[in-house]
């Protein structure tokens, strides 16, 4: 079954939005198979956002994501990668549709509440970066 990496960013945790965000993915029907509240190190942030290394906002991005706890999660379900991206809304909250997480709660492109993998390749890479195999659980749940 397909899995994706989702992370409530420091602004989402500080604004007490973690429950609301977990709730949306649970109600949609996806299965939470891994979760941890963690403080991201500078090294992990730079690896995770490596593809943005040359962007002018890279320093700001790394500074922000390491500024407070994040909720790192692995979610499982049919087409969960693309569906979660739709539920998150566009990267820039200004362009994110109402009803999406960023459309409802985000204000700026830097502080946009949540991160989600954009492809099967990045999902695998990001899950492996943030989780050990034994931190991802297998269990059956009610549909």
Residue 60 interacts with ligand CMP (CB under 6 A): yes or no: yes
Residue 94 interacts with ligand CMP (CB under 6 A): yes or no: no
134 annotated binding-site participant? no
Count other Cβ atoms within 10 Å, centred on residue 143.
5
57 annotated binding-site participant? yes
Q: Find out whether 79 and 103 touch, Cβ atoms under 8 Å.
A: no
Residue 69 interacts with ligand CMP (CB under 6 A): yes or no: no
Nearest distance, CB of residue 123 and ligand CMP, angstroms: 13
- Within residues 70-89, the interface with ligand CMP by CB under 6 A covers none
Nearest distance, CB of residue 34 and ligand CMP, angstroms: 18
Q: Find out whether 76 and 60 touch, Cβ atoms under 8 Å.
A: no
Residue 112 interacts with ligand CMP (CB under 6 A): yes or no: yes
Residue 115 interacts with ligand CMP (CB under 6 A): yes or no: yes
Q: Which is nearer to ligand CMP, 120 or 141 (CB)?
A: 120
Q: Is 48 a catalytic residue?
A: no
Q: Find out whether 123 and 109 touch, Cβ atoms under 8 Å.
A: no
Give the pair of three-digit tokens for residue 105: 């709660």
> Of 62, 75, 89, 115, which is the active-site residue?
115
Count other Cβ atoms within 10 Å, centred on residue 77.
18
Q: Which is nearer to ligand CMP, 41 or 137 (CB)?
A: 41
Give the pair of three-digit tokens for residue 4: 């994706």
Q: Which of 32, 119, 124, 114 is nearest to 82 (CA)?
A: 119
Q: Which of 68, 75, 61, 71 is nearest to 111 (CA)?
A: 61
Name the residues that contact ligand CMP, by CB under 6 A: 52, 57, 60-61, 91, 109-110, 112, 115
């Amino acid at each position: 079954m397909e899995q994706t990496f989702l992370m409530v960013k420091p602004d989402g945790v500080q604004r007490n939005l973690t429950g609301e965000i977990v709730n949306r993915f649970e109600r949609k029907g996806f299965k939470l198979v891994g979760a941890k509240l963690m403080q991201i190190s500078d090294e992990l942030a730079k690896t995770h956002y490596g593809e943005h290394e040359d962007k002018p906002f890279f320093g700001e991005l790394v500074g922000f994501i390491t500024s407070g706890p994040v909720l790192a999660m692995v979610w499982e379900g049919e087409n969960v990668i693309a569906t979660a991206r739709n539920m998150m809304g566009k990267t820039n909250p200004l362009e994110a549709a109402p009803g999406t997480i960023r459309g409802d709660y985000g204000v700026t492109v830097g502080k946009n509440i949540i991160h989600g993998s954009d492809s099967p390749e990045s999902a695998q890479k990001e899950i492996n970066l943030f989780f050990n195999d034994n931190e991802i659980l297998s269990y059956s749940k009610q549909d």
